[in-house]
């Protein structure tokens, strides 16, 4: 558990979330951690069943200090978490490949966040329905109001899981090539290749009736747009800047 006084805008630091390796890259302030989370659609969640770790990718979203994700009620991960189980939810954005002058200094620029908490099923039907609506709008602003409403059967077939962020840490590397001082003079090609995740042009469903307009809420979904910027923009449109 936290072993020191924590400012209200930061996560408590303990053995669990302390960034050990290259600790100058560590971030514990909520603003930095939230910015990494809110720029993502997909996370990876670690959980344990009978001593065996599992790592499952899933879409997720944040509301304040809570994180939510969902899935079929049949999925192993969600069934195992009904009682409330410890999880670690991690988001990673790969920002560049870093090719240095020796193997040891090869690296990548990245932003990652690890969040620790206890995952629990959102059982209350109203809370569950509201959460699923929020999930759609968080990714695609205003979209939920345009959709065919969910049926009771669809709601029943979906499990929503939530957790409060008990502790978290962010880790950021953004310095590109960094070599040993004596290596810079060597005749070795060293470079950074930026990496981005982008969307392409919409591929509309061919079975739409004629004349269905492109939704206003998707105005930002233009070809070549960075997914991290788009997700952060969608988040702030739906939840406000905080």
Interacting span for its own copies (CB under 8 A) from 1-9, 26-34, 69-77, 120-128: 69-77
Shortest gap between Cβ of 117 and its own copies (angstroms)? 11
Work out which of 124, 174, 202, 242 binds its own copies, going by CB under 8 A: 202
We find the least distance from the C-beta atom of residue 183 to its own copies, in angstroms, to be: 6
Say if residues 66 and 55 touch (Cβ distance below 8 Å).
Answer: no
Determine if 87 is a binding residue for its own copies (CB under 8 A): yes
The span of 1-9, 27-35, 60-68, 81-89 binding its own copies (CB under 8 A) equals 81-89
What's the min distance (Å) between Cβ of 30 and its own copies? 20
Minimum CB distance to its own copies smaller for 9 or for 216: 216
Q: Considering only the stretches 2-10, 26-34, 61-69, 213-221, report the one whose residues sit in contact with its own copies under the rule CB under 8 A.
A: 213-221
Q: Which of 81, 116, 122, 138 binds its own copies (CB under 8 A)?
A: 116
Burial class (CB in 10 A: 0-12, 13-18, 19+), 44: middle
Window 126 to 155, contacts with its own copies (CB under 8 A): 132-133, 135-136, 139-140, 143-144, 146-151, 154
Residue 117 binding its own copies, by CB under 8 A = no
CA–CA gap between residue 191 and residue 223 (Å, rounded): 27
Q: Is 90 in the site for its own copies (CB under 8 A)?
A: yes
Contact between 69 and its own copies per CB under 8 A: no
In the complex, minimum distance from the CB of residue 92 to its own copies, in angstroms, rounded to a whole number: 4
Using CA atoms, how far apart are residues 122 and 86, in angstroms rounded to an integer?
16
Q: Are 139 and 235 in contact (CB under 8 A)?
A: no
Place of tokens 């042009």: 201
Residues near 174 by beta carbon (within 8 Å), at least 6 away in sequence: 95, 109, 111
∠ CA 159-11-94, nearest 5°, is 70
Indicate the pairing of strand 167-173 with strand 107-121. antiparallel
State the DSSP H helix or E strand holding residue 33, giving kind and residue range, or none if neither.
Answer: helix 30-38
**b vs e for 62-91, b when ≥16 Cβ sit within 10 Å of the residue's Cβ?**
beeeebbbbbeeeeebbeebeeebebbbbb
* 185 makes contact with its own copies (CB under 8 A): yes
Pairing of strands 42-49, 85-99: antiparallel
Residue 191 or 242 with smaller CB distance to its own copies: 191
Cβ distance to its own copies smaller for residue 54 or 123: 54
């Amino acid at each position: 558990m936290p072993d020191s006084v924590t400012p209200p805008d930061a996560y408590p630091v303990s053995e669990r979330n302390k960034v050990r390796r290259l600790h100058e890259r560590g971030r514990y302030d909520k603003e930095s951690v939230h910015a990494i989370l809110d720029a993502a659609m997909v996370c990876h969640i670690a959980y344990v069943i009978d001593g065996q770790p599992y790592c499952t990718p899933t879409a997720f979203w944040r509301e304040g200090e809570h994180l939510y994700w969902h899935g079929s009620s049949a999925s192993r991960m969600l069934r195992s978490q009904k009682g409330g189980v410890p999880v670690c939810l991690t988001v990673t954005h790969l920002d560049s490949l870093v090719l240095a002058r020796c193997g040891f200094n090869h690296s990548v620029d990245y932003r990652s966040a690890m969040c620790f908490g206890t995952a629990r099923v959102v059982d209350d039907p109203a809370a569950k329905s509201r959460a699923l609506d929020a999930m759609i709008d968080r990714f695609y602003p205003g979209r939920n109001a345009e959709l065919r409403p969910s049926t009771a059967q669809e709601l029943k077939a979906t499990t929503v899981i939530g957790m409060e962020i008990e502790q978290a840490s962010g880790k950021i590397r953004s310095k590109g090539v960094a070599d040993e001082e004596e290596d810079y003079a060597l005749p070795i090609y060293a470079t950074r290749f930026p990496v981005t995740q982008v969307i392409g042009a919409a591929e509309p469903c061919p079975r739409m009736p004629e004349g269905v307009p492109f939704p206003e809420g998707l105005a930002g979904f233009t070809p070549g747009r960075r997914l991290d910027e788009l997700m952060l923009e969608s988040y702030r449109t739906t939840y406000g800047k905080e």
